[in-house]
Structure 1
Amino acid sequence: MTNGLCTVNSTTGASLADIGLSAGPVLRAAELPEDLLLSPQAPLTPEQLYRCWSAAESVAGDPALGVSPASKLSVESFQAPIFAALCSPDLKHAARRMPTDKRRPGPRTLVVEADGVGLHVPTVMPPEPEPPTSLVAYGLACWVALARLGTRTRVIPARLTMPNPPRTEVYADYLGKHIDHAPSVTVTFTPPGAQHPFLTANDAMWQVFDADPRRRLSDLDQAGATAARVRAAPLELLPAGATAAPDASRRLAMSSRTPQRRLAKEGTTFHAVLEDVRYSLARHYLARPEVSITEIAPLPGYDEPSSFYRTFHRWSGTTPKHARTETA
């Protein structure tokens, strides 16, 4: 697998909602963290991205899932690259503005002008793992949706190609044309389609967004605040007694060493983060008099109240009972 990351964020949740899906069931089915979309830029490997898409397809029970999200493409979902593209004069200019980054393992678009007037857009897919068929078709459909959203007309591409195109007629009904079988993933627009004026054109707004997609792509190598994500995981894991780094790694869909390595860069360790979460949980429940101290002990992940008492004294220099009195 190529080294690199794709990203998802809260706009992904909005896109799922647009087609009647909740993020939780999809992420659970994909064996990904349920808090994944809370991150401004959640990094995913290609395998995780494809697994997430396949899970959405399974939960929706829709083998033509690529059509639904493309047809719901809108400014309201506020995906910065799409918004910036819609500020363009036409589809040809929009294609030039769509960001690419060779480090990314996900689909990458390379814009080639056919005969200097029309538009031919090939998409480079990573060699492995093999992407879901409907995800590839979705990428093609998005170009058509972008053209239609910008022009407010039913733009029909001159040709669409991909390996193993989907057999369902749903794509042809939406695209206005069948997807042809070919080794490459491409969409081609005639000169009228490529140069049809966008009613959404806004040069002043484009100046605002000009640097943003490039900045987003430059941030892909940084995983964000790993400590914050590791702190979130034990809130569900601790009551079940899961206190080891591998437990958090699985919850965060990371390899066993990744959290430790990234936490080290942030100047902390998994043990320190876990201890901080446990202490915070203990103080939180000690402030609630309706919960007995004996009942509190398992919540930070302790089997025996005596272990909780000793550890709390080490944390705070006092007993849980005394800490509760001080809080009151």
Structure 2
Amino acid sequence: MNTEPTYSLFMATDVACRILGVDPVLMLETAGLGELPYGRTELRVTAQQYFDCWNTMEVLSPRPDYVPHLGIAISRGPVIPVFFTLSCAPDMETGLMRLAQFKTLLGPTLMRVFWEGELLTLEFDSADARVPMPPSLGALQLVVALENIRGAAAHHICPVAAGFDGSQEERRMIAGHLGIMPEHSHAAFVAFSPDDAKRRFISENPALWSDIEADLRLQLAAQNDRWPIADRVRGALVDLMPAGRTGAEDVAFALGISRSTLQRRLRDAGTSYQGLLDATRRDMAIRYLTKTNLRADEIASVLAYRDANSFSRSFRRWTGQAPSSFRQTLSHSQFQDPESK
């Protein structure tokens, strides 16, 4: 039985290709993965296959500033729940420590956070020691991390040092964004001063973090067949919904079982697929409405609805209120109730 770790292609096919204007089907074919059915974003690949995709996107990208453009767009564009680990934190050090726990949900990249002397250092490497991470992907990690940190701190933080395994031209490409010229190093890294490491984040949200952490642990558990089937289904849904996939067949495929086996196991557990889908969407919708400033259309997208109207109809069925009314009622109640402050 093959037990080699696998990773979701969502960030490559559904996020990066769209941002760069690269045809995902052509990308997969050029990377030697043409047999993979495009659109099955629940499909998981090995680290080598994942890195082959990233190298291919670099070749196919029509933009010479591929790395900084993609990094900034990822950070400012689609809602990616894993990044809440950073933005909900009270400060940079705490947020990076949290993010490191769940980084492999986005691909085969290990993230290490440690103090080296007086500098807080963030280091990225391949999750598979046999397969080196492409230099361009290392550079991308630095840009995405710094962009998310700056957004959470509402401050133009500049690192003290940085580096990755790229040519001088590749390193110069992201120097302007980093604020320093990265050095040539085997591992991709970026280091921050003690003051910046402890700088408070204006986006701190402990209430949202407790829920997001539970969701992300379910995503990790989805790949562990020793967990209860209901938890695995919810974890798979949290993983798949941003890609617009909520079908029972999609979830079964992601869990490595047939649809009939999935339905039978859920029946034996006293639940149903539709019931779990509704409960997962309802819980996440209430969380985003009460604990974030996301618009209804953004929440609808995260929950894999066609549009905000479809989401609103479902929310009315669950709660008897429109999403906007629900949010306004709660805000008014908290404003009136001094105990809630």
TM category (shorter chain) comes to 0.5 to 0.7
**Following the alignment from structure 1 to structure 2, what is the Cα–Cα distance between the partners of residues 144 and 26?**
27
- Aligned-pair identity in percent equals 19
Q: What pairs up with 1:21-40 in 2 under 5 angstroms?
A: 21-30=22-31, 31-32=33-34, 35-39=37-41
* Residue in 2 that maps onto 1:95: 96
Shift of 1:77: 1.4
3-state secondary structure, aligned to 1:77? coil
Shift of 1:114: 4.0
**Following the alignment from structure 1 to structure 2, what is the Cα–Cα distance between the partners of residues 175 and 37?**
34
String of CA shifts for 1:251-288, please: whole Å, max 9, x gaps: xxxxxxxx9xx5689769xxxxxxxxxxxxxxxxxxxx
Paired residues of 1:66 and 1:137 also in contact (CA < 8 A): yes
**Following the alignment from structure 1 to structure 2, what is the Cα–Cα distance between the partners of residues 147 and 63?**
25
Candidates 144, 147, 150, aligned match of 1:148: 150
Give the gaps of 5 or more residues in structure 2: 226-231, 234-252, 263-341
3-state secondary structure, aligned to 1:131? coil
Paired residues of 1:101 and 1:108 also in contact (CA < 8 A): no
3-state secondary structure, aligned to 2:101? coil
3-state secondary structure, aligned to 1:129? coil
Distance 1:91 1:71, change over 3 A: same
String of CA shifts for 1:181-213, please: whole Å, max 9, x gaps: 223332111123222222222111111101222
**Following the alignment from structure 1 to structure 2, what is the Cα–Cα distance between the partners of residues 59 and 37?**
19
Paired residues of 2:111 and 2:124 also in contact (CA < 8 A): yes
**Following the alignment from structure 1 to structure 2, what is the Cα–Cα distance between the partners of residues 64 and 131?**
19
TM-score, L = length of structure 1: 0.60
Shift of 1:152: 2.7
**Following the alignment from structure 1 to structure 2, what is the Cα–Cα distance between the partners of residues 263 and 123?**
33
3-state secondary structure, aligned to 2:191? strand
Which one has the largest radius of gyration? Answer: 1
3-state secondary structure, aligned to 1:72? helix
The count of corresponding residues between Structure 1 and Structure 2 is 230
* Residue in 2 that maps onto 1:3: 4
Q: What pairs up with 1:1-328 in 2 under 5 angstroms?
A: 3-9=4-10, 13-30=14-31, 31-32=33-34, 35-39=37-41, 41-62=42-63, 64-74=65-75, 76-100=77-101, 106-115=108-117, 118-125=119-126, 126-165=128-167, 167-168=169-170, 169-220=172-223
Select the structure that is richer in helix: 2
3-state secondary structure, aligned to 2:66? coil
Aligned-residue CA RMSD (Å): 3.4
Paired residues of 1:85 and 1:94 also in contact (CA < 8 A): yes
**Following the alignment from structure 1 to structure 2, what is the Cα–Cα distance between the partners of residues 207 and 166?**
42
String of CA shifts for 1:83-127, please: whole Å, max 9, x gaps: 232111121111111143799982211211345x74211223233
Give the gaps of 5 or more residues in structure 1: 226-258, 269-328
Distance 1:182 1:218, change over 3 A: same
**Following the alignment from structure 2 to structure 1, what is the Cα–Cα distance between the partners of residues 98 and 104?**
18
Shift of 1:46: 1.0
3-state secondary structure, aligned to 1:84? helix
**Following the alignment from structure 1 to structure 2, what is the Cα–Cα distance between the partners of residues 147 and 101?**
17
Shift of 1:75: 6.0
TM-score, L = length of structure 2: 0.57
**Following the alignment from structure 1 to structure 2, what is the Cα–Cα distance between the partners of residues 146 and 182?**
23
